[in-house]
Structure 1
Amino acid sequence: MVNVQAAAKKKKEKAEKKKEDDAPAEEDALSEVEDLEPIEVHMVPDDQIKGLTEEQLSEEFTKALNANNPQAPMNQVLFDFALGQFVPMPPSDQIAVHFSMQETIIPTQTSEPAPDAPKPAEASPAAPAASEPERPAPGGSAPAEPAAIVDAPVEAPVQPPDSPNTQKAKALKNQFNFSERASQTFNNPARDRMVATEPPPTVNFSGLCSQFILFDAYLAIFREGKELKAQKDQQQASTRKQHSEEDGEDPASDMIIADADDRDEKAHKIMSSDAMKRAMKVMERIVNLNAEEDIFHDFKYFEDDNDKSREDGAGFFLPLWRFASPKAKRRTVTSIKWNPHYPDMFAVAFGSYDFMQQSGGGLICCYSLKNTSHPEFSFTTTSGIMCLAFHPQHPALLAVGLYDGSVCVYDVRLKNNMPIYQSLDPKVKHTDPVWEVHWQSSADDIGKEINFFSVSADGRVTDWIMSKNELVNEEIMELKLVSRKVTNDQTEIDDERTMVGLAGGTCFDFNPFSEHLFVVGTDEGSIHTCSKAYNSQYLTNFAGHHMAVYAVKWNPFHRGVFLSCSADWTVRLWESTTREPLLSFDLGSAVGDIAWAPYSSTAFAAVTADGKVFLFDLNVNKYEAVGQQRVIKKGKLTHVVFNSIDPILLCGDDRGGVMSLKLSPNLRRMSAKTIKEIKKDVEIAKLDAIMAIAAKKDAFP
């Protein structure tokens, strides 16, 4: 017994000595770890630019990182069978989980142990004896050391019991994985069942879909339906014949056949009804709106803020839609007019200015901005169309002038190819092409017959009255040739200076402030102001251009100012009381058409034969155009027209297309917020100021 105690004591001394030797080493190691500091090592990239300064190297660049998942689906929808439609789903979660593991360690400060932690040792009879100190052996010797010392685990130290009779410790609830059940239920055992199925057969399919293929498919279905209906009618006829040959007819069979016929007739009426046509029209417009959503957004909301920072005040044109029809391919746009009642609808006339090729006939297409892919309706004529015009009070009436000298009137509500009025008598109609038509828009003509005017290359201005059954013509004026040597009002025009014959009229326009006053342009380059009350002579003669005058337009704000353009490459501004032009602009090519802007008295647009469109604003720049752009390559622009409400203009070309352009803010400067709020006095004052400056001979080079 003594030997055992001595051995245990010696072993205990060795353990204590070893513990004392290891303590300084651990303290040194801890101090060394605490003294360690992170070492910064600057690695120079291989592709770094050499020769950079210290400031350039130390410059900080901010990189923004987001937590969005690029693989997450967007705009998810599900079909709701209760509602019968697709319902948008909420956005998916952007969190991408790369690794997940449930925790197994809880903080030591908590009073709730882990479920798999070792339980405290229970009190046993042997425990008190083990914890009491050894009694001294007989003879007064020191108590013997135990044979071995067992250290308690650090994670769950064993606490000594308070008394020998301590009860078993109660396990606490873990809030992480504890669940309380109100009742016990039977849990069905899980079973794995495997089923082997054959994958469905797959077939690679590819096809082409277009408007023409869809049309052919619908046409084939329509023909098949007609054939089936014909076969059914034939079978019904044979059945009736068999019944008639028999002695007694079956009335029930006749009723069944009659009911089938009624159903087919009712279905045909539904498909061809006005309600179905309107529904199909609305659906077509919605499909077109969805297909060209970006262009419609640009048309409604696009604004360029860079225009404000431009010092020269220049702007640009934003291309929107190109209106074209397969029927009008390779035809020339001869006229464009907006409908006065529907600001989204306009009519386009197609003909030819090549007088050696006039065998193709004419075409009228009425487009709408609500459906830019196809015209709303169209009309065809046997002769080329040179001009057209909508009636200002009756927007359904469309007057048309033809190449063969005849005029006609269409009612666009009928949507048929027959005009309601037409001049067919060769003794009455013009003998040369009709270049322009204008309706008489007088408020005093209420109750009178509707009439319009036309000008032709035969040198006559004619008034056409729509009587009850026919068009009645009345000659307003003959355009006599005048010597170009007349330069002032005091020079008398005698018989020697008046040449025999008539000048071919190419264009004319009525003064919006005076119903009887109109201005006429001729193919000789002369411009004349005339009156319906004095048809024997001109009021004023202007030796305006050196070549044919293509267009003359009165200013919509000022009653004494008009604009003209010609094949001599110039656009000129005139005042009705002076024979010399106030301003002249050389555009470098033949000018096909001009148009005053509805939002400013000093702004107008012009198109040229080299495919360019120009916009001038005399209040901003009196020398050059504030905006110009080439609209078509290797083609000619023939006509231009502004919209009365929206900031867009239309340009027609010689290839059968009409291009719509939106004006930037610098090209549509207005004196008010809207066109309806513009005051005419302000616009007249602006134009008078420009004219006062232009009247000075030394004001312009």
Structure 2
Amino acid sequence: MPPKAADKRRQGQGGPSGGKAGKAGKSKKKDEDDFPEAREDGSTARAAVRSPDQLELTEAELKQEIIRTLTADNPHVPQDIIRFNFKERAYMLVDDMDHTAVHFTLNGYLIHKDSDEGRRQSIRSSTEAEETPAEDEEAPVEAAAEPTEEGETKDEEPTEEAEAEEEGEGEGEGEGEGEGEGGGEGEHEAETAEAAEEEPHPEKVPERKLKNQFNFIERGSTTFHYPLREKGLQTDPLPFGTFSENVNQWNEFLYCGFGLLFDSDSKLWFIYDSYMEELDRMEKAKEKEKAKPVAVKKEDQKTGRKLSVVEIPHVDSLSMVARAAKIAERMVNLNTYDDIAQDFKYFEDASDEYRGQNGTLLPLWKFQYEKTKKLAVTALSWNPKYKDLFAVGYGSYDFMKQGHGMLLLYTLKNPSFPEYSFSTESGVMCLDFQGDHPHLLVVGLYDGNVAVYNLKRASPEPSYKSSAKSGKHTEPVWQVKWQKDDMDGNRNFFSVSSDGRIVSWTLIKSELVHMDVIKLSADETTMQGPEGLQLQTLGSGISFDFHKKIDYLFLVGTEEGKIYKCSKNYSNQFLDVFEAHHMAVDTVSWNPFHVKVFISCSSDWTVKIWDHTIKTPLFVYDLATAVGDVAWSPYSSTVFAAVTIDGQAHVFDLNINKLEPLCSQLVVTQKKNKTTHVQFNPADPVIIVGDERGLITCLKLSPNLRKKPKEKKGQEVKKGPEEEIAKMEKLLSLVRQPGKKEEQ
């Protein structure tokens, strides 16, 4: 038997038994150390060890069951986190906090073989293995051939050893068959180990490492720099000469195509006026050419002669029948609203005889346009020539809801649709008709611009409009008023704005020329400027009105509640200041008959009547809510109307009742709607009232609201302005304090 096999057999016989005995001895020793010695009765003695700070509990406390529930909630997570909820638009408690506690994190570099990246790397490695050269494939074949020869020699050698082993095994079996199973197992293990040594091991294919996908190399390169070169040229200066000449409009000029004019001496001239005249002449000539009928030559097929046929230029069919269609529409509306038209013309409320002094307002037409339902009525004005025509401005008093505006003109003959319609980029805040030229209408816009519309033109754009260059206001324009033409015959108007400027605008040719008349200064209000400078703040103008008889005199109501009496001749100071109201003065208006009386209203619930020579008001009326507008009647010096934001219209006649209104009537029926403006018709006994929903209501005054003085026997009743002045003067004499009366 070879020595290796004998050693293995000995290991198989004695190895396992020896190992078990050793382990048994160790375990026995350990048990003896861990457990104390046994007593005589078989029990073991154990020593109880207690901690010095252990609690001493009673039997009942020891037997008590304490239940503890384990949850996944983190006790250290805050429970009072407040965050803004954009859906609810409020700060709310956050109840879904993250309770995950991370104790350890490790980023791995392994990639799953089924993932996209794993498939790409496996495909890349297989393609690289296929692309290896053929020489690398032949080398392993030759290396594998050599081990086969060595294996054959090794196979031959163990055959002799195996025969000797078989003989030894036969002898061993004959000598003693009583050997244990351990010997047989040892022989089997030795045989398997020798067979494993004899068999050749297959060669392992070397693993190919994956390339690092994030490896990169920085490379730098330099480029060739071209040398700088300088090149200079020298030229001769151009010849120049000096020319000067006096120009006047009496020279004889000849017009050329580029607007350049030459005189008899062939000198170059350019006159703007002549240029504009020539352009107008050319435009008129073009219009005449378009209007002329065009002669077209046609050939007669039968005779072969050429015939000249005059073709009439194409004209829009609607424009030809526009006037007829408008008249027909008015006739249809008269039939539709015939009962209202009859009430407007003939109805007189007979029940006024039983009401004493009180009167009523009879609703007539209602004017509303589909495009203005979401806009408020911001201005009303009757046309001075056509008594049935009035203009309405639409915008918004809420500075958070500013948008486009509209300008509409209605007539009492057609309440269903406006006669004229103009759209503006900004809301219309005020408007006014020109007295001598009723086709001109000026409007003030919320963005600070003023514009003049010409109703004779068919264009939807204004004829004149201010801009930043022409001195527009920086804040909304609250009121505009036409004034008499200046010395040169140019039309002009005035405007007041929240920026504290009162501006005079003049229409010169095709542009607006502005001039600041006065700047409102807030008293005792200064701002600290840079380097310690004291800057004076400007007041905020809301309303103004010019005197009916004295051209230079006008009143200005401010947002601070003051009324300034100003003059066009003084631009740096005021004639007088009235501490009128506690809030903004929404309207201030001179009496159309009496030269000293004016009226004002405010959001502080009051309407006040003043004499401009007295600092205190003559009459004060508290209407229990904010007053939107007030207006004098054109037929009586003692009658005026006011509207409040609760939707009511109030009509006063100081000659009949100095304390209370003769009529207080609800005009607006919808909830959350406010009346904004009121105006008297200059000829008929009707008023128009506008509200925040874009609705205009026409109301007729009952007989008690327009009473005339009774005729006495043997005396002629005076009529006209003189009688109205006498009525107002009589009232003023009753309320004036002694010593305050002024001469007329």
Give the TM-score band, short-chain normalised: 0.5 to 0.7
The corresponding residue for 2:466 is 423
Within 5 Å, give how 1:379-528 maps onto structure 2.
Answer: 379-426=422-469, 428-441=471-484, 445=486, 448-482=489-523, 500-528=536-564
TM-score by length of 2: 0.55
- Cα deviation for residue 258 of structure 1 reads 11
Query: In structure 2, what is the Cα distance between the partners aligned to 1:338 and 1:255?
Result: 64
The corresponding residue for 1:303 is 348
Q: 1:339 aligns with which of 360, 363, 383?
A: 383
Structure 2: stretches of 5+ with no match in the other structure: 1-297, 526-533, 712-716, 739-744
- Cα deviation for residue 399 of structure 1 reads 0.5
Partner of 1:515: helix, strand, or coil? coil
CA distance 1:452–1:256, change in 2 (3 Å): same
- Cα deviation for residue 482 of structure 1 reads 2.5
Partner of 2:615: helix, strand, or coil? coil
Amino acid at match of 2:317: M
Q: Is residue 646 of structure 2 the alignment partner of residue 646 of structure 1?
A: no
The corresponding residue for 2:416 is 373
The corresponding residue for 1:3 is none
Structure 1: stretches of 5+ with no match in the other structure: 1-243, 485-497
Q: 1:323 aligns with which of 342, 364, 367?
A: 367
The corresponding residue for 2:334 is 289
Partner of 1:620: helix, strand, or coil? coil
Query: In structure 1, what is the Cα distance between the partners aligned to 2:413 and 2:307?
Result: 45
Asked if structure 2 preserves the Cα contact closer than 8 Å seen for 1:481 and 1:499, the reply is no
The corresponding residue for 2:70 is none
Deviations 1:51-72 (A, max 9, x none): xxxxxxxxxxxxxxxxxxxxxx
Amino acid at match of 1:304: D
The corresponding residue for 2:582 is 546
Within 5 Å, give how 1:32-111 maps onto structure 2.
Answer: none
Deviations 1:446-498 (A, max 9, x none): 751100000000000000000012100000000111259xxxxxxxxxxxxx9
Query: In structure 1, what is the Cα distance between the partners aligned to 2:304 and 2:361?
Result: 70
Deviations 1:168-208 (A, max 9, x none): xxxxxxxxxxxxxxxxxxxxxxxxxxxxxxxxxxxxxxxxx
Query: In structure 1, what is the Cα distance between the partners aligned to 2:359 and 2:540?
Result: 38
Q: Which moved more, 1:546-555 or 1:424-433?
A: 424-433
- Cα deviation for residue 334 of structure 1 reads 0.6
Asked if structure 2 preserves the Cα contact closer than 8 Å seen for 1:299 and 1:662, the reply is yes
Query: In structure 1, what is the Cα distance between the partners aligned to 2:505 and 2:372?
Result: 29
Asked if structure 2 preserves the Cα contact closer than 8 Å seen for 1:671 and 1:678, the reply is no
Q: 1:580 aligns with which of 603, 616, 620?
A: 616
Q: 2:301 aligns with which of 231, 241, 251?
A: 251
Q: 1:655 aligns with which of 679, 693, 697?
A: 693
Deviations 1:260-308 (A, max 9, x none): x96xx78x6472344x211111100000000110000000000012213
CA distance 1:292–1:480, change in 2 (3 Å): same
Partner of 2:394: helix, strand, or coil? strand
Amino acid at match of 1:620: I
Amino acid at match of 1:592: G
Deviations 1:570-591 (A, max 9, x none): 0000000111111110111111
- Cα deviation for residue 309 of structure 1 reads 3.3
- Cα deviation for residue 685 of structure 1 reads 1.4
Amino acid at match of 2:326: K
- Cα deviation for residue 517 of structure 1 reads 0.2
Amino acid at match of 2:373: K
Amino acid at match of 1:278: R
- Cα deviation for residue 637 of structure 1 reads 0.6
Amino acid at match of 1:323: F
Query: In structure 2, what is the Cα distance between the partners aligned to 1:545 and 1:254?
Result: 91
Within 5 Å, give how 1:588-667 maps onto structure 2.
Answer: 588-633=624-669, 634=671, 635-667=673-705
Asked if structure 1 preserves the Cα contact closer than 8 Å seen for 2:470 and 2:513, the reply is no
The corresponding residue for 1:190 is none
Query: In structure 2, what is the Cα distance between the partners aligned to 1:257 and 1:594?
Result: 72
The corresponding residue for 2:134 is none
The corresponding residue for 2:592 is 556
CA distance 1:258–1:548, change in 2 (3 Å): farther
Query: In structure 1, what is the Cα distance between the partners aligned to 2:481 and 2:612?
Result: 21
- Cα deviation for residue 423 of structure 1 reads 0.6
Query: In structure 2, what is the Cα distance between the partners aligned to 1:306 and 1:539?
Result: 49
CA distance 1:257–1:384, change in 2 (3 Å): farther
When Rg is computed on C-alpha atoms for both structures, the one with the higher figure is: 2
CA distance 1:336–1:693, change in 2 (3 Å): same
CA distance 1:256–1:407, change in 2 (3 Å): farther
The corresponding residue for 1:495 is none
Query: In structure 1, what is the Cα distance between the partners aligned to 2:302 and 2:642?
Result: 76
Query: In structure 1, what is the Cα distance between the partners aligned to 2:443 and 2:467?
Result: 13
Partner of 2:493: helix, strand, or coil? strand
Query: In structure 1, what is the Cα distance between the partners aligned to 2:535 and 2:729?
Result: 37
Partner of 1:521: helix, strand, or coil? strand
Amino acid at match of 1:272: L
Query: In structure 1, what is the Cα distance between the partners aligned to 2:729 and 2:594?
Result: 9
Partner of 1:482: helix, strand, or coil? strand
Amino acid at match of 2:642: A
Partner of 1:416: helix, strand, or coil? coil
Partner of 2:471: helix, strand, or coil? coil
The corresponding residue for 2:604 is 568
Asked if structure 2 preserves the Cα contact closer than 8 Å seen for 1:350 and 1:386, the reply is yes
Q: 1:694 aligns with which of 726, 731, 735?
A: 735
CA distance 1:569–1:277, change in 2 (3 Å): same
Query: In structure 2, what is the Cα distance between the partners aligned to 1:626 and 1:636?
Result: 21
- Cα deviation for residue 377 of structure 1 reads 1.1
The corresponding residue for 1:136 is none
The corresponding residue for 1:17 is none
Amino acid at match of 2:318: S
Q: 1:669 aligns with which of 707, 710, 722?
A: 707
- Cα deviation for residue 351 of structure 1 reads 0.4
